[in-house]
Amino acid sequence: MTSAHLLAAGPVKLRAQSLHGFPERHVHQVVGCSNQQRNSTLRWGRKPASKVQAISEEVVGSVAGNGTQNGNGTVSTTVPIEQSTLSVHAGESGGRCKVSDSLTTPICCTSTYYFQDTAELIAYQEGRYGSYEYGRYGNPTTRVVEEKLRELEGAEDCLVSSSGMNSATTMLLALVPAGGHIITTTDCYRRTRQFIQTVLPKMGVTATVLDPSDMGALEQALEEHDNTSVYFSESPTNPYLRCVDVPTIARLCHAKNTPICIDGTFATPINQRAIDLGADLVLHSGTKYLAGHNDVLCGALCGRSDLVAQVRAMHNVLGGTIDPHAAYLMLRGMKTLGLRVEHQNKTALEIAKRLEAHPKIDRVHYPGLPSHPDHAIAKEQMKGFGGVVSFEVKGDLWTTAKFVDSVRIPYIAPSLGGVETLIEQPTVISYWDQGPEKRAAYGIKDNLIRYSCGIEDIENLWDDIAQALDKI
C-alpha cells in the first residue's frame, strides 16, 4: 500500500487497530507471504521476498548492485554500498517483517518511527493516517496493554506509564490547576500523601483530608471549596483496607462537577470495577497485581477519554514512559490475573478468619470480615476482597518484629500482589524515618503487619504463621 493509497483511504484514528493490536501501517500484508507482514515501501530497490530470508551473499549482492533509493525514488549506483551502510540497513530498510500469526504480542523495541514521505507525515499530523511518531508518545506493544486494561475496567481509554506513582502524580498535575483543591482520604500510600502535602502546595494547591467513610465531611468540603479539581482515594486503602462508598461519592462530587479518581490497586478489575460504580478514573500500580510477578515497575490510568487525554498530554511532556519490555511483562501478567486473584482472595480470607480467632492477635483488618468497618460497602462493591491482610500483634514493636523475623515462607519486602507472599511491618519498612509521634498521627501502629498473600498453598502459609506466633 503506497502513501497515496493511505491518503485516499480517508481518516484513520490511532485507536483503530487490527486484530493483533497494531496501528494500520504495521499490518500491510505482503503478497505471496501469508505468514508475514511488513511495511510495503522498498528503499533498496528490491522486491519483497516471499518468505523470511537470512542475509546471504545473494541478498547483500542484490542490495549493493541495485544501489540506494533516496526520498525522491531515484537510485544512485555511482558509489558502492559499503559494509558499514549494509550493517545498518540491510534486511530492514526494504520492509521490516511483522509475524502476524505469533501467538504472543511482539515487543516493539523502538524509540522512534519513520514515515515514507512528507505526504504520509502530514497525513499523520492531520489525523488521516494511524501510526506513531516518537516512543514517548506511544508504542504498539504498550497500546495492546492499554487496550486490554481498558476493557477489563470498562473504560473509554487507558494510559500506561512507568510506575503507579508516575500515574498518580501525572494525573494530579494534569487535572489540578495552580490554586486548585483536592479532596483525599486519611489512609493512603505514604508517597501519594507526600506528593499532595509537600509538592502540590508549591503550586498553591490545597487539600482536604477526610475519613474514608465520612460522607458528611465530604459534602461540607465540596461546599466550602468550589475549586475542587478532583476527589482521589484508594479503595481498598493502604494499609488498613478501608473501602469508600463510590456511588455515594460519585453522586456528591458529580453534583459539583468534580471528577473522581479511585486507586484500585488493591482491588484489581477482577474484584471491583469502580467506573461501573460511578468513578471517572481508575488508577493502578500495575507493579502489584496486574503484572503480578514482582519483576516490573508499571502504572496505569483508565477512565473517561477526555480526562485521560488531559493526562496523556502531561505525560508526553513529563516523559514517564514505560519500556516496551516492561509493557510486555505487564501484558503477560494480566493473562493470569483472574486465576491469581481468585486464589489470593481465598487465601487471604481464610488467613484473616484464622488470625482473628488467634489469641496472640489483637485485631485483623480485612474487608471480607464482618468486623471490618467497611464490610457492608465491600460486600456491595466487590466480588472478592483482595489478597492483603493487615493485622495487629499483641505486643510492642520488637515483639512484632520477632514475629516477622520468624516466618519462613514470606519475604520481608515492600510491595504486594505478586506470586510470592510478602510481609512487612509498616513502622519499619515505610515510616521508620518519621518517628513515633508522626507515625501515630498517620495511624501507623508499631504492632501493625501487612501480609500480602501470594499463590502458595494456604496450609503451608498458615502453618508458617502459626509457628511464628508460637515464638512470641
Among residues 396, 414, 382, the alpha carbon closest in space to that of 242 is found at: 382
Which one of 46, 128, 136, 190 is the catalytic residue?
136
Give 183's strand partners: 208, 231
Among residues 391, 387, 394, the alpha carbon closest in space to that of 365 is found at: 391
d(CA 59, CA 44): 11
Is residue 310 within 8 A of residue 156, CB to CB? The reply is no
CA triplet 436, 441, 444: central angle to 5 degrees? Answer: 65
Q: CB under 8 Å, gap of 24 or more: what pairs does 124-129 form?
A: 127/11, 127/12, 127/13, 128/6, 128/7, 128/10, 128/11, 128/12, 129/6, 129/7, 129/12, 129/24, 129/25
Which one of 25, 273, 288, 312 is the catalytic residue?
288
- State in Å, rounded, how far the first CA of the chain is from the last one: 72
d(CA 275, CA 262): 9
Which one of 263, 280, 374, 464 is the catalytic residue?
263
| Catalytic residue status for 263 | yes
Give 299's strand partners: 161
Which one of 189, 231, 240, 289 is the catalytic residue?
189
Give 448's strand partners: 392
Run of H or E residues at 35: none
d(CA 386, CA 67): 62
Burial 348-365, CB ≥16 within 10 A → b, else e: bbbbbebbbeeeebeebb
Is residue 210 within 8 A of residue 244, CB to CB? The reply is no
Is residue 261 within 8 A of residue 232, CB to CB? The reply is yes
| Catalytic residue status for 471 | no
d(CA 386, CA 347): 9
| Catalytic residue status for 189 | yes
| Catalytic residue status for 143 | no
Give 260's strand partners: 231
Helices 246-254, 215-224: axis angle to 10 degrees equals 20
Is residue 96 within 8 A of residue 119, CB to CB? The reply is no
Catalytic center residues? 136, 189, 263, 288
